[in-house]
Structure 1
Amino acid sequence: MITVTSIESEESKLIAKADVSLPFQGLEPEGRMLVDSDGAAFVYLLGHKDEFIHLRFEQSTWETIHTYRNMEKPVYVHTGLQPVLLEDFWTEIDFLLDNIEGNHNYGKEFVDKVERIFFTDRRED
Structure 2
Amino acid sequence: MKKRITIQKASTTENKLFLETKEPVNGLVPAEQMLVDSVQFSFIYLMENQEDYTYIVFPEQIWPFLKSALEQNIPVLLTFREESIELISFHEELEYLITNIKGNSNYGNEMVTKVEENF
Q: TM-score, normalised by structure 1?
A: 0.87
Conservation of the 8 A alpha-carbon contact between 1:5 and 1:60: no
Partner of residue 63, structure 2: 62
Q: CA deviation at 1:80?
A: 4.2
Conservation of the 8 A alpha-carbon contact between 1:26 and 1:48: yes
Q: CA deviation at 1:81?
A: 5.3
Q: Secondary structure at the match of 2:40?
A: coil
Taking the aligned partners of 1:97 and 1:46, their CA distance within structure 2 comes to 20
Taking the aligned partners of 2:37 and 2:69, their CA distance within structure 1 comes to 22
- Asked if residue 83 in structure 1 is aligned to residue 84 in structure 2, the reply is yes
Taking only aligned residues, the RMSD between alpha carbons, in angstroms, comes to 1.3
Taking the aligned partners of 2:61 and 2:89, their CA distance within structure 1 comes to 21
Partner of residue 21, structure 1: 23
Conservation of the 8 A alpha-carbon contact between 2:42 and 2:57: yes
Q: Secondary structure at the match of 1:69?
A: helix
Give unmatched runs, 5+ long, in structure 2: none
The structure number with the bigger radius of gyration is 1
Paired-residue identity, % = 32
Conservation of the 8 A alpha-carbon contact between 2:28 and 2:49: yes
Taking the aligned partners of 2:32 and 2:40, their CA distance within structure 1 comes to 21
Q: TM-score, normalised by structure 2?
A: 0.91
Q: CA deviation at 1:64?
A: 1.4
**Residue type at the aligned position of 1:21:** E
- Asked if residue 8 in structure 1 is aligned to residue 14 in structure 2, the reply is no
Q: CA deviation at 1:69?
A: 1.4
**Residue type at the aligned position of 2:61:** S
Partner of residue 52, structure 1: 53
Conservation of the 8 A alpha-carbon contact between 2:11 and 2:18: yes
Query: In the TM superposition, what are the counterparts of 1:91-102 in structure 2 within 5 Å?
Result: 91-102=92-103
Taking the aligned partners of 2:110 and 2:38, their CA distance within structure 1 comes to 9
List structure 1 segments (4+ residues) > 4 angstroms apart after TM superposition.
Answer: none
